Structure 1
């Protein structure tokens, strides 16, 4: 089945509720891997899918799994193995999105670095799908906490990556502990001998699907990515647009809803913008493109399908607000600029969890993408002040100001103030709607510290909570958060959530004291109000933090903080010992 024969998901045999969910999520048509895989998997056939990361493989196996789930059976019916915790989390989140209209569906992501007790409780309550990394899945199988007796489907995602990371023996061990009659879907970008061996030994007459990579980017397009915090994406984008000298710009998002929402936000920030998606009729589409051509609008926010065929000479920039899951889509997107021999620039916003998609694009195109930095508050201030000075000088040169000079002299005499003070007041009035001096914002001014996840730590514990050897000596304030021991929270949970969401180095987080119903966290003095509001809304252990600054009278004693820090170090040492023991057990399981 070719993608040209399949224009929607309903024609693939998916049930109506799933198709409705996909429509709500803004999915317009299946990718080639989805169009070819879904019908075969729905028929219960084993499958070998050869395709690069970013071609839409997750939906290719998740949608058939959800189509066949028996909600009355609370033991795992599908197991997805992923090479890294980041991919396991992403796959689990995708399942949750697709299952939005499936009441009672439960999925458990299990991976190293997460509290084992929380995973045990989740598995004991009953789940329909398990997504995990090989090491942690083996741990649960040995403990007897993961029951695969009713497993009907197993998915090996990025099998060649698991081979590269040394997990293939583990994968075979897990396969040997699954029922003989289960369906297997194996996805891999390449077909090395070890993957071919697994295919021959564990897949039954599989359907083979191969999606050829055709992505080649244009040399004259300057490509750049910027690492951003998910919660501050729009603020980061605004900074980028302020410093980029663009003429026309097209911005890509994943869903129809996002085109409208983002266009409205940009309008509110002073950019003439319009949305372009599959729900917009042809006449309005033509009007929007014509306005872009004539300079009546400067920014078009579009989905991939809606942007096809756009050829507007004044498009100098393409911004990937949402990184595409399909590498081919990335090439099509940035091809909207740099046309007919002209140069162009493509900017890609990447969140820490999406780094593997960035690397996939680089591998697929054969070109590294340069990392760019967000302009700091000081840089934005300098740029705004420079422009303001230039506008003053231009006005002095081009306008007759005699009447205004007379008015200033009158105000000066009446108020007994200097001309400098009057000029300063006028400058303040002129910039009141767009302040010259940008307020400091740690979430945007400091680079995001990201952990190297290229497989070196495999399934080991999350080093964010255990590797903070150097703690900042800067002054600290105490904050109270409304999660505690009864919620199962651990110091590492708070460190990870705060560091990720606030774009803060973990070494800047001080002592953590966990009580039964709440906890205390030390954070640097001068934490901005925006950051505090952001952290208040962050959820940890299924509860919002509701972070609030507290005075010393209500803060824990320093001794308690140190004791809790000692406990945290003991916990981390215990986790490392557990993982090392598991590694020793693994080496001898064959």
Structure 2
């Protein structure tokens, strides 16, 4: 395929109404993936597109689909499969914006977590395009509520992500239920064996388009990381923000709830902040980005999906408050700064248990990330005093203050105190919300001591009998049976990671685990809230729903209990090597073989 990008969207063969919509949105020239993919898809050929996140893949497949839609046929003519609810919503919104000048066009996003009845009504009224997560698309196909008889095109968006989340079998099932004559477009950042298999089995002589990243990470971005205890991340972040001279800043977290929580906490600390996540509608998203551009807010806290497409020139810093599990996500995140030849800075907060993720990022990007230390209490004090002194001198230089001088003279005479004493009192009042003299904090002031913390961890494991798990406190426990076992490849770390991460439960509150062939048992704290029980019911591990059921404690096997994974656990990989257990911040969530119904939105 030609790499000539000199043409505009009209030269690619798109109809005038779509080109007009693109001008309204602000698109001027097609990106490389768009310039090469659109002509291929317009002709009906199958396509294999290899490109990194953030290269404009959505428009690359949405525009030719819209160009080929027959609005007189009120049945789905295109099906786009996306790995997550957030991405499905984003793709549907993109279609709507491109179809602004296409009256009569209808699209339906279908995903788990949304009322099935609303989706059924939408499909019954008739739609031209369906965007959905694999599980919910399968639900509608089984109900016969999704008619694919008129289907022309299937798009697999972020196919490697669907593989990582365990959806490949579902994708193949869906493809088997589509017309043989349909066009297939597969977009992926990488080509693991499972994606190659789908390409070979379901794509017909596809055109392969590969957009090579010019660099893994932008050379103008200064990258560093800070090692910090999980319980002190917000305090460490506050110190970083105080000493960094940033203009606009985007901060990444893993969950939608974390965006709101962190935005509120930063607002309370005096930073103009806003959250950006998949639950925020398009209008509010546009308002937030416009406020960031104009300087009304300085910090945006976002999830990976919600941040896609953000290009704000004043973003000088990117902070990874939560380290991403995906190396490509890191590259995409820090690419929000240092754009168009500008310089930028990326800071990564890493907890001790996440060191393996840091090493993985360095290996993937081929660049070492330098460790930085947090500013000490003394350095913060020096900075605050210096800023306070400068503000005093600036005020003396720029303001006439006769009334205030007279007031000070009156206080001095009445209280019989010196001007120095009055000035000291005023300085104290001025700094009451943010003390000039920062108290020492041993945990943040001292360099992070890996050896000391590892020693403490080993001591804890020794006191627990060396198994790194079991009941870590005196919390009364109930026994639960879960419907996943050894035959599914279950490991103790899978259960611990899934429950701790999804139910927001501390890993040391998860008791003993016993794994059988077809089911398992796990001890959880008594009197769980109804909300926690609902979350537990939605969790998937090893592609199977846990469906936990409280059972009598006597059912828990007493003779053999599977070890809870300790921080020092090491297990063999497929090559027989022994590698770290990859436990995440809450004891195992780094093992990615689980998903919740809310996160995958596929059931």
Name the counterpart of 1:221: 222
Name the counterpart of 1:181: 181
Q: Distance in 2 between matches of 1:18 and 1:361?
A: 39
Question: TM-score with structure 2 length normalisation?
Answer: 0.50
Deviation track 1:160-192 (CA, whole Å, cap 9, x = no partner) reads 333344333322221111112211111122334
**Does the 8 A contact of 2:318 with 2:334 survive in 1?**
no
Deviation for aligned residue 1:360: 13
**Does the 8 A contact of 2:18 with 2:98 survive in 1?**
yes
Range 58-67 or range 78-87, more displaced: 78-87
Deviation track 1:273-302 (CA, whole Å, cap 9, x = no partner) reads xxxxxxxxxxxxxxxxxxxxxxxxxxxxx9
Name the counterpart of 2:30: 30
Name the counterpart of 2:560: none
Name the counterpart of 1:168: 168
Gaps of 5+ in 2: 226-249, 254-258, 273-284, 299-309, 320-327, 350-357, 436-490, 507-526, 548-593, 595-603
**Does the 8 A contact of 2:123 with 2:146 survive in 1?**
yes
Deviation for aligned residue 1:204: 2.3
Name the counterpart of 1:330: 335
Mapping of residues 256-271 of structure 1, within 5 Å:
262-265=292-295
Deviation for aligned residue 1:148: 0.9
Q: Residues 425 and 119 of structure 1: is their aligned pair in 2 closer, same or farther, counting only changes over 3 Å?
A: farther
Q: Residues 263 and 195 of structure 1: is their aligned pair in 2 closer, same or farther, counting only changes over 3 Å?
A: closer
Specify the SS of the correspondent of 1:333. coil
Name the counterpart of 1:123: 123
Q: Distance in 2 between matches of 1:185 and 1:54?
A: 18
Specify the SS of the correspondent of 1:161. helix
Deviation for aligned residue 1:30: 1.1
Count of aligned residue pairs for this structure pair = 396
Name the counterpart of 1:67: 67
Q: Residues 362 and 161 of structure 1: is their aligned pair in 2 closer, same or farther, counting only changes over 3 Å?
A: farther
**Does the 8 A contact of 1:2 with 1:32 survive in 2?**
no
Name the counterpart of 2:433: 437
Deviation for aligned residue 1:18: 2.2
Name the counterpart of 1:318: 316
Deviation track 1:98-122 (CA, whole Å, cap 9, x = no partner) reads 2334344332323334443443333
Name the counterpart of 1:50: 50
Q: Distance in 2 between matches of 1:373 and 1:121?
A: 56
Q: Distance in 2 between matches of 1:77 and 1:45?
A: 15
Q: Residues 365 and 92 of structure 1: is their aligned pair in 2 closer, same or farther, counting only changes over 3 Å?
A: farther
Specify the SS of the correspondent of 2:112. coil
Whether 1:467 aligns to 2:503 is yes
Q: Distance in 2 between matches of 1:373 and 1:96?
A: 46
Question: TM-score with structure 1 length normalisation?
Answer: 0.51
Deviation for aligned residue 1:35: 0.5
Deviation track 1:109-148 (CA, whole Å, cap 9, x = no partner) reads 2333444344333333332222222222222211212211
Deviation for aligned residue 1:235: 11
Specify the SS of the correspondent of 1:5. coil
Deviation for aligned residue 1:158: 2.1
Mapping of residues 354-503 of structure 1, within 5 Å:
365-366=365-366, 386-387=385-386, 389-391=388-390, 407-408=406-407, 410-412=409-411, 423=423, 437=433, 467=503
Q: Residues 216 and 171 of structure 1: is their aligned pair in 2 closer, same or farther, counting only changes over 3 Å?
A: closer
Q: Distance in 2 between matches of 1:97 and 1:232?
A: 30
